[in-house]
Chains A and B, each alone.
Chain A
Amino acid sequence: MTKIISVNDLSYQYPDADRPTLNHISFEVNAGEWVAIVGHNGSGKSTLVRALDGLIDFKSGTVTVAGTKLSPESVWLVREHIGMVFQNPDNQFVGATVADDVAFGLENAGVPRPEMQQRVQDALEAVDMWQFAEREPSRLSGGQKQRVALAGIIAMNPSIIVLDEATSMLDPHGRQTVLSVLQHLRRSNQAPTILSITHDLSEAAQAQRLLVMDNGQLISEGTPRAIFSDEQLLESTGLDLPFSTKLSQQLAKQGLIAPKHYLTDDELEDWLWQLHLTM
């Protein structure tokens, strides 16, 4: 496996803060992997991904992206590898039309016009928004806006896509459409590495690996199954319990047989069905 991101002993303290926001963080991400970063507000998640993009001027530790060590000299090279999508889509539009907006990054990069038009169309088709190409971004729904923001990133073909709570402002339908675009993108030729910050456990469950942040430290990492099994960890870091865990607790409360260890929703459904058949 090629390492596309290596973070080694990264620490950072905001100028007026009384404690470090990032405290000796080390981790690696494989090319093509989907990693979700979870943790309560203020745990340092957003600062961490901003550090990867050179938006934070850290003094201690190293960040290496696609083989390039991040430094004031290399920051523009590193940024070519990373596309970021933020929480509020309204803050990231620059174009008068959807197509203009998606073309913005390509124009800045000096991509010739015929190629640019093709890449804009491909990117908008990838997020199923091509039919909205001539519309005004501000008149779209939240889910549509985030898909356009994502298309602007896809058009640049970065090897890493970072999503900072990009689905948290969306209605359930909008969230679902963005997640299915990401799933689709992973199976495409681009197959980008995805780093997503999220509070939504169903979104985190789609990642291959979770990093758990608390108080500026990386306190745990593992598969969604391993992390979701650790009820104590989930509660102490202010995360939600998975629905299957909540239902298991309620089953026990009703005096019914409950599973003894963590099951995904699908597994719990199977498990209940098997028990039901014995009745």
Chain B
Amino acid sequence: MAITFDHVNYMYQPNSPFEAVGLSDVSFTVPSESFTAIIGHTGSGKSTLVQHLNGLLKPTSGTVTVDDFQLTAKTTNKHLKSLHQHVGMVFQFPENQLFDQTVERDIAFGPLNFGFTNEEAMSLAHQAAHDVGLPDELLNRSPFELSGGQMRRVAIAGVLASQPRVLVLDEPTAGLDPRGRAEMMAMFAKLKADQQLTVILVTHQMDDVADYADQALVMAHSNLIKAGTPAEIFANPEWVKAQQLALPTAANFAQHLVTRGFEFDSLPLTAEQLAIQLRGQLPKEGR
């Protein structure tokens, strides 16, 4: 599903003493089935932006278009149901939102709410549990008996069970250990490929941007200040630093090599890209 923001403005508590700008004239397009990262320091407007994707917030002015659904200031809440079903949101620490007595019922809650029959909902729940790598024997357990990583997978399965076409992930790996992070990012990449999902990822992990994103949006002070491929976003290290962002680890290391006389056609963003660009600048093994 393609997504378009057309001159979207959002004001928090408009016409009150607490009025504050949330989004200022934001316009961009996300192609269907792409992987888009949203970056920017804390408080830059990333979360405000993604809350427009399923109508949790409505623009004060401007239009958000998701596939053929249009969200404006005038959209009424009862029209939001199809948007809710098509755009799945995984918030930070989603395991805090688990509530039901068994894993199965917790995952099935979404489909039941969207009007699937009990039988369909259970079947969708089992499929979603399988997709996130939860073993069947956990389905009848209480979600609160599981480990933190498993609880997070239950919460993500609960979002996937409603068969969304867009998956919005707000720092989904926060608090996980390195192996847990790597497994979860690989899981999202596989889900995207298997189910042709459009994925929006809010993240502080520049290495994840380099490894997974087709394009990135950079937010600062409620404005969208740059949009492009990761290579375009990170091409100018001084600019990146001025935005209080970091370079991917490999790009940062490559920058140091440049000061030592190495040359790169484009700034490498991953260890693999860096090694490839070092061919011809280093001796080969066994020579």
Contact = CB atoms under 8 A, between A and B. Distances in A.
A252 B253 contact: no
A42 B281 CA distance: 44
B174 A238 contact: no
A261 interface: no
Contacts of A142: 42
Contacts of A250: 271-272, 274-275
User: How many A residues touch the partner, as a band?
Assistant: 35 or more
B279 A171 contact: no
A20 B202 CA distance: 37
Contacts of A278: 283
B245 A41 contact: no
Nearest to B93: A88
Given A172-B206, A251-B275, A258 B285 contact: yes
A238 B178 contact: yes
B179 to A, nearest CB: 4
A247 B148 contact: no
A246 B283 contact: no
Interface string B255-287: 011001110000000011011101101111100
Nearest to A251: B275
Interface string A160-185: 00000100111111100000000000
User: How many B residues touch the partner, as a band?
Assistant: 35 or more
A170 B245 CA distance: 12
A168 B42 contact: no
Nearest to B249: A243
Interface stretch (A70-78, A115-123, A220-228, A268-276): A268-276
Contact of A87 (B175, B179, B279, B285): B175
B281 A40 contact: no
B106 to A, nearest CB: 21
A41 B149 contact: yes
22 contacts: A39-B177, A41-B175, A168-B175, A171-B244, A172-B204, A172-B206, A172-B244, A173-B41, A199-B177, A238-B179, A243-B249, A243-B253, A246-B271, A250-B275, A253-B272, A253-B275, A255-B279, A256-B275, A257-B285, A272-B262, A272-B278, A272-B282
Interface of A: 39-42, 87, 141-143, 165, 168-174, 199, 238-240, 243, 246-247, 249-258, 265, 268-269, 272-273, 275-276, 278-279
Given A41-B180, A256-B282, 16 more contacts: A41-B175, A165-B175, A172-B204, A172-B245, A173-B244, A254-B276, A255-B284, A257-B283, A269-B253, A269-B256, A272-B257, A272-B262, A275-B282, A275-B283, A276-B261, A279-B283
